[in-house]
Structure 1
Amino acid sequence: MKKQNLVVVGGGSTYTIGMIMSLVAEKEQFPLKSITFYDTNAERQEKIAKASEIILREKYPELESFNYTTNKKEALTDADFVFVQIRTGGLAMREQDEQIPLRYGAVGQETCGPGGMAYGLRSIGDMIDLVNDIRHYSPEAWILNYTNPAAIVAEALRREFPEDKKLLNICDMPAAIMVSYAGILGKDVFDLVPEYFGLNHFGWFTRILDKDGKDHTDTIKRAITEDGFIPEDAEIANDPSWIKTFKQVEQMVTDFPEYLPNTYLQYYLYPSQMVDKEEPDNTRARQVINGREKRVHTLADQIIADDTTENVELEVDIHGRYMIRVAASMAYNNGDIFIVMVENNGTIANLPDDVMVEVPSVITNRGPKPFAVGHISTFYKGLIEGQLAYEKLVVDAYYENSYEKALQALTLNRTVIDAPRARKILDDMIEANKDYWPALYASKKAQTV
């Protein structure tokens, strides 16, 4: 089994140590020759990298090399796989993304609604540049992109790199939900076979089977509505915000019992409730800064100070395991089934071919081979078409530097709807992002002349 050269872009992420532990746990399925971290922020990356180096020394001694760098050429040359997890603007801009909509009674969330639009418009350019750089230094590398908001980023990359068959956009949220399904059933998450359709952060499980073909969907629905639903993945299990999010699934299954929803649908189906629950001075970004970021940095500091992992508790989470299992299926043509984003091309029969849908696919060394979903019914089609129009308009706004397209996008989005409110949110977001969107800022100024 060939050992792979892996690059992690965004090496300073608070998810990176969990990724390293997942690489350790999955090293028999996805053996590595080298790991390289790349980040544009040397200080942020160094602490995570030094802690990771100690973890790898103790738990992955067979790894031939580990490096971290801010030099693009050094990082990306001769890569077999590149895992991408970047956040343009960092948590400081995420906080703005969440606070601005809340001023006007709209959902403040990093990937949904106005916050997702802002994050997406910042991410697109950096992602395009990064893919071009990877292709310059490692033309045959597999690129697995985790960068949010994945739906908007995937649509932009589809337009920019239509022939790139080794670029895959993935999200771990369906798998994180399935970890809780597995807990209900007393099974391992990778023993479950999902049937699913939708867009990223906007989809539904139609059935949950096991590898023997037994259907457990009704058992899961009954457990959710009668016993409650809790997050069980290590990264989110004790997070109060995620506990509330999983609790909301009970309401969604009660109101719309046909399918099992992605948790992010709460923002689109119950936007007023979501706004009422939020605290503008303690948004999710602030909770991450005071919670996960502080916890991970404290963990890294202790590992470095002790020069060992003996005094800390390290956990494997689904974020890393999912990406690694997908990568292994690509590298070794395993034919495993995972939910990923693909160009539709008839997969969902009554949606356009040129949209990025999220569906179960067989993962091969020639890329993902999606399972046909067939026709979807009016309620789901209507919701998806509105969301698709929003996503495409956001990407249009990026390419055309169009204030009008951005305003249309926000007005369409179910978390906003009201046109005057959409304009107020958009104007504030353009002002907050003027260093990231200079052309759109100029477009807005032209609107007021």
Structure 2
Amino acid sequence: MSKLKITVIGGGSSYTPEIIEGFIKRREELPVSEINLVDIEAGREKLEIVGNLAKRMVKKAEVDIKINLTTDRREALKDSDFVVTQFRVGGLEARAKDERFPLKYDVIGQETTGPGGFAKALRTIPVMMDICKDIKELCPNAFLINFTNPSGLVTEAVNKFTDVKCIGLCNVPVHMKMNFAEILEVSPEDLYVDFAGLNHLVWVKNVWLKGEDVTMKLIDIMTDGETMSMKNIPPMPWDRDYLKALGCIPSPYHRYYLMSDKLLEEEKKAASPEGDGTRAEVVKKVETRLFELYKDEELKEKPKELEKRGGAYYSEAAVSLISAIYNDKKEVHVVNVVNNGTIKDLPADCVIERNCLIDRRGATPITLKEELPIEALGVVQAVKAYEVPAVEAAVKGDKDKAFLAMANHPLVPSVEVAKKLLEELFEINKDHLKQFKF
């Protein structure tokens, strides 16, 4: 097997031990000889800390993988076979602002959706466009595996405005499948879960256990909020009557749309002087503790404390996808991919999250046997009506498209509020939004 070169952009992330562990576990099927961990100059200290842990991990596992730490992105990308992106423009400080500024307008503040998610997309997509220019020049045959949030919007921008081979990835579908297996007390390998929708807004149409449809059985025993939530979303129980009537299972992120009033109340409480802080502020404390652990030269494996960061199954999703492509496995994975008519009531060129066949060609979405019910499709269409102009605004610096995107988002209550939110978003983020003329 030919040797593989992997480049991870955002290599100083606290998530990096996850992906290193993934490559170690798959040493027999992925001949990785070199992993480049790349970060910006401001992230050099974290890159050194997490990179040295990565070196200790591969040494302990006795795998022949060279770990390179660099701030020279172009040098790292040269001749790479796979590029993984997991960066955060503006860091957790920017995320905390994203989560706080909408609250004063009684609008949910969140990392990947609503005004906060829009701010993150506007900061992130131009950087990704620059990365794609480098990929086309330095490693044109590489696959770009994008984990950078908001993953659906970033992946849509890459697929619409570049010809880089890009697949978007999220750990939510894997997390949901693992939860289903736990609830049903079965092996995850015995389940087939049919996903369709958007990133962080994906629906489960059906769950099969060894060929038996157990969707309604699963809905019937989903009784508490903890079993179907994520670290970064307050656990709230689903309304059983609603799920039974719909016959589909929502992702944890649907709470932002289906329980907006309760989530807004929770966020305001957390952001108050008496609260624990926004999710970004909580994560910042977790990361501080993690990097203290990472500094320990006796630590030679991914610490269990990383689970508190919210990235469960990250390495499983990322490395298994890379293996499926490289080994032409023709496996089914849930990824973000160009729609191409898979969900008929969405634009053909937009990006959706769907079960796909993965092989050397990349990701081919599996045709839906039955369309999403209109009751489930409605929120997907509403959010896509925000995402399409949001992507265009981010790439072209178009203020009109930015305004339309903000006004279209279902979490924003009015055009008037949308205008105020956009003005504040621009003011807070102007140093990162060079594509716009202020």
Q: Contact 2:146 / 2:168 at 8 angstroms: preserved in 1?
A: yes
Note the alpha carbon deviations across 1:7-65, whole angstroms, 9 max, x for none: 11111111111222222223233342221111112122111101111111102x22242
1:393 and 1:318 map into 2 onto residues whose CA distance is 31
1:424 and 1:197 map into 2 onto residues whose CA distance is 33
The one-letter code of the counterpart of 2:214 is H
1:356 aligns with 2:358: no
1:256 and 1:323 map into 2 onto residues whose CA distance is 35
1:215 aligns with 2:209: no
Instruction: For residue 73 of structure 1, report the CA deviation from its aligned partner.
Output: 3.0
Uncovered stretches (5+) of structure 2, i.e. residues with no partner: none
- Percent identity over the alignment? 30
Give TM-score, length-normalised by structure 2: 0.91
Q: SS state of the match for residue 196, structure 2? A: strand
Match of 1:447? none
Within 5 Å, which residues of 2 pair with 1:320-331?
A: 320-331=315-326
Q: SS state of the match for residue 96, structure 1? A: helix
- Paired positions, count: 425
Match of 1:11? 11
Give TM-score, length-normalised by structure 1: 0.88
Match of 1:123? 124
Distance 1:187 1:35, change over 3 A: farther
Q: SS state of the match for residue 343, structure 2? A: coil
Taking only aligned residues, the RMSD between alpha carbons, in angstroms, comes to 2.3
Distance 1:439 1:252, change over 3 A: farther
Within 5 Å, which residues of 2 pair with 1:80-99?
A: 80-99=81-100
Distance 1:191 1:441, change over 3 A: farther
Instruction: For residue 290 of structure 1, report the CA deviation from its aligned partner.
Output: 1.1
Q: Contact 2:216 / 2:247 at 8 angstroms: preserved in 1?
A: no
Note the alpha carbon deviations across 1:71-118, whole angstroms, 9 max, x for none: 123311121111111111111100111100011110010001001100
1:105 and 1:255 map into 2 onto residues whose CA distance is 31
1:106 and 1:311 map into 2 onto residues whose CA distance is 37
Match of 1:24? 24
Match of 2:260? 271
Note the alpha carbon deviations across 1:114-155, whole angstroms, 9 max, x for none: 011000000111001112112221111111111110121122
Q: Contact 1:146 / 1:170 at 8 angstroms: preserved in 2?
A: yes
2:337 and 2:74 map into 1 onto residues whose CA distance is 29
The one-letter code of the counterpart of 2:293 is L
1:300 aligns with 2:294: yes
Q: Contact 1:21 / 1:314 at 8 angstroms: preserved in 2?
A: no
Out of 223, 227, 231, the position equivalent to 1:230 is 227
Q: Contact 1:430 / 1:441 at 8 angstroms: preserved in 2?
A: no
Instruction: For residue 339 of structure 1, report the CA deviation from its aligned partner.
Output: 0.8
Q: Contact 1:109 / 1:115 at 8 angstroms: preserved in 2?
A: yes
The one-letter code of the counterpart of 2:44 is A
Moved segments of 4+, more than 6 Å: none
Instruction: For residue 345 of structure 1, report the CA deviation from its aligned partner.
Output: 1.4
Instruction: For residue 349 of structure 1, report the CA deviation from its aligned partner.
Output: 2.3
Instruction: For residue 156 of structure 1, report the CA deviation from its aligned partner.
Output: 1.2
1:105 aligns with 2:103: no
Q: SS state of the match for residue 35, structure 2? A: strand
Note the alpha carbon deviations across 1:319-338, whole angstroms, 9 max, x for none: 11111111111001101101
The one-letter code of the counterpart of 1:168 is I
Uncovered stretches (5+) of structure 1, i.e. residues with no partner: 443-449
1:89 and 1:256 map into 2 onto residues whose CA distance is 42
Instruction: For residue 200 of structure 1, report the CA deviation from its aligned partner.
Output: 0.9
2:241 and 2:23 map into 1 onto residues whose CA distance is 35
Within 5 Å, which residues of 2 pair with 1:161-310?
A: 161=162, 163-164=163-164, 166-210=165-209, 212-225=210-223, 229-230=226-227, 239=231, 241-242=232-233, 244-245=234-235, 247-249=236-238, 254=243, 257-278=246-267, 279-281=270-272, 282-291=277-286, 293-302=287-296, 304=297, 306=298, 308-309=299-300
Match of 1:345? 340
Q: SS state of the match for residue 367, structure 2? A: coil
2:205 and 2:50 map into 1 onto residues whose CA distance is 39
Q: Contact 2:49 / 2:295 at 8 angstroms: preserved in 1?
A: yes
Q: SS state of the match for residue 28, structure 1? A: coil
Within 5 Å, which residues of 2 pair with 1:21-170?
A: 21-40=21-40, 41-59=43-61, 61-161=62-162, 163-164=163-164, 166-170=165-169
The one-letter code of the counterpart of 2:25 is A
Q: Contact 2:82 / 2:145 at 8 angstroms: preserved in 1?
A: yes
Instruction: For residue 310 of structure 1, report the CA deviation from its aligned partner.
Output: 8.0
Instruction: For residue 439 of structure 1, report the CA deviation from its aligned partner.
Output: 4.8
Instruction: For residue 224 of structure 1, report the CA deviation from its aligned partner.
Output: 0.6
Match of 2:367? 372
Out of 313, 316, 319, the position equivalent to 1:318 is 313
Note the alpha carbon deviations across 1:134-179, whole angstroms, 9 max, x for none: 2221111111111110121122112212x44x32111111111111
Instruction: For residue 275 of structure 1, report the CA deviation from its aligned partner.
Output: 0.8
Instruction: For residue 252 of structure 1, report the CA deviation from its aligned partner.
Output: 8.7
Q: Contact 2:172 / 2:200 at 8 angstroms: preserved in 1?
A: yes
Q: SS state of the match for residue 230, structure 1? A: helix
Note the alpha carbon deviations across 1:226-265, whole angstroms, 9 max, x for none: x554269xxx6xx4x54x33x3445695475410111111
Distance 1:134 1:256, change over 3 A: farther
The one-letter code of the counterpart of 2:331 is D
Deviates more, 1:325-334 or 1:412-421: 412-421
The one-letter code of the counterpart of 2:284 is I
